[in-house]
């Protein structure tokens, strides 16, 4: 009888716990950051909803797009924003290049377009662990002095010249920790670059505009938002 009673209590506890989890999953996020965090939590916990991906969504977004966030991230094939944030067609305005370099005219123009013409108020700069561009910058030319092709070298030079990267390269950090810190530094540099650009541009409405920074872990599927990487105008 005692065993039956304790089994009943355990079952009740599990029911309460799963109801609480369900409530958390079902409660509507109130900000873009909460929506991104909730979508990523569904992704890494294997509870994806795959929203906004059917023919109906194609039909409605053909008339007008209203993405809720800009995501600037790396071209790395493992870093696919719509998948890892469990979003669909028309939800994210995505800009990608190797090393998520922000200071390129086409990248800044794309951000401005999303803010000015599509009304997006949240911009996420997202690097990722073990980024090949960052690893190449940290490693430098090999012992034989071999360099990368010209365009890749140009990206590596750009990364090396970032103030935030220089601070890490001058620090005692070594190995994977050095690469991780450079990934974070590159995200911070991207945030500062977007801030400077948008602040100096009179045509960009600033109210409610926020710039977020994050690093995606290619092992766990988790996006870690950087506490220092939040800028609100
Ligand atoms: Zn990368």
Contact 95, 72 (CB under 8 A): yes
- 42 Cα: distance to centroid of ligand 1 (angstroms): 23
Say what percent of the chain tops pLDDT 70: 88
pLDDT at 233 over 50: yes
CA atoms within 13 A on the CB side of 142: 4
What pLDDT was estimated at residue 140? 84
What pLDDT was estimated at residue 26? 60
Domain 32-232 indexed as CATH 3.40.1050.10:
yes
pLDDT at 10 over 80: no
Residue closest to 197 by CA, chosen among 126, 123, 134, 128: 123
What pLDDT was estimated at residue 25? 54
pLDDT at 192 over 60: yes
- 37 Cα: distance to centroid of ligand 1 (angstroms): 21
- 32 Cα: distance to centroid of ligand 1 (angstroms): 24
**Number of neighbouring beta carbons within 10 Å of residue 25:** 13
Concatenated DSSP letters of 120-146: --EEEEEEETT-HHHHHHHH-S-TT--
* 73 sits in which H/E element: strand 69-74
Task: Give Cβ neighbours of residue 154 (< 8 Å, ≥ 6 apart).
Answer: none
- 69 Cα: distance to centroid of ligand 1 (angstroms): 20
- 126 Cα: distance to centroid of ligand 1 (angstroms): 10
- 153 Cα: distance to centroid of ligand 1 (angstroms): 15
- 39 Cα: distance to centroid of ligand 1 (angstroms): 21
What pLDDT was estimated at residue 79? 98
- 134 Cα: distance to centroid of ligand 1 (angstroms): 7
- 104 Cα: distance to centroid of ligand 1 (angstroms): 16
- 169 Cα: distance to centroid of ligand 1 (angstroms): 18
More confident residue, 168 or 9: 168
- 20 Cα: distance to centroid of ligand 1 (angstroms): 37
- 128 Cα: distance to centroid of ligand 1 (angstroms): 6
pLDDT at 115 over 90: yes
Contact 216, 129 (CB under 8 A): yes
Residue count of the chain: 233
Helical H runs in the chain? 2-26, 32-44, 55-63, 81-84, 105-118, 132-139, 150-161, 163-169, 175-199
What pLDDT was estimated at residue 19? 43
**pLDDT tens-digit readout, 21-78:** 444 556 788 999 999 999 999 999 999 999 999 999 999 999 999 999 999 999 999 9
- 130 Cα: distance to centroid of ligand 1 (angstroms): 7
- 176 Cα: distance to centroid of ligand 1 (angstroms): 14
Average pLDDT (102-120) is 96
- 229 Cα: distance to centroid of ligand 1 (angstroms): 19
- Sorting pLDDT into bands at 50, 70 and 90, what band is 12? very low
């Amino acid at each position: 009888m005692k065993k039956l009673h304790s089994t009943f209590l355990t079952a009740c506890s599990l029911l309460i716990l799963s109801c609480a989890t369900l409530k958390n999953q079902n409660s509507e996020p109130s900000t873009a950051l909460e929506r991104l965090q909730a979508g990523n939590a569904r992704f890494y916990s294997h509870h994806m909803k795959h929203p906004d991906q059917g023919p109906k969504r194609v039909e409605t977004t053909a008339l007008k797009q209203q993405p809720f966030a800009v995501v600037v991230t790396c071209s790395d094939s493992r870093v696919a924003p719509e998948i890892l944030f469990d979003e669909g067609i028309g939800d994210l305005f995505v800009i990608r290049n190797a090393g998520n370099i922000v200071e390129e005219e086409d990248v800044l123009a794309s951000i401005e377009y999303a803010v000015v013409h599509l009304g997006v108020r949240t911009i996420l700069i997202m690097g990722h662990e073990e980024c090949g561009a960052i690893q190449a910058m940290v490693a430098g030319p090999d012992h034989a002095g071999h360099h990368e092709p010209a365009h890749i070298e140009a990206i590596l030079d750009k990364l090396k010249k970032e103030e935030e990267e220089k601070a890490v390269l001058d620090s005692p950090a070594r190995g994977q920790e050095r690469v991780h810190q450079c990934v974070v530094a590159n995200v911070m540099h991207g945030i500062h670059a977007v801030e400077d650009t948008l602040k100096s541009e009179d045509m960009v409405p600033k109210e409610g505009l926020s710039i977020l920074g994050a690093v995606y872990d290619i092992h766990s599927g988790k996006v870690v938002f950087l506490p220092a990487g939040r800028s609100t105008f």
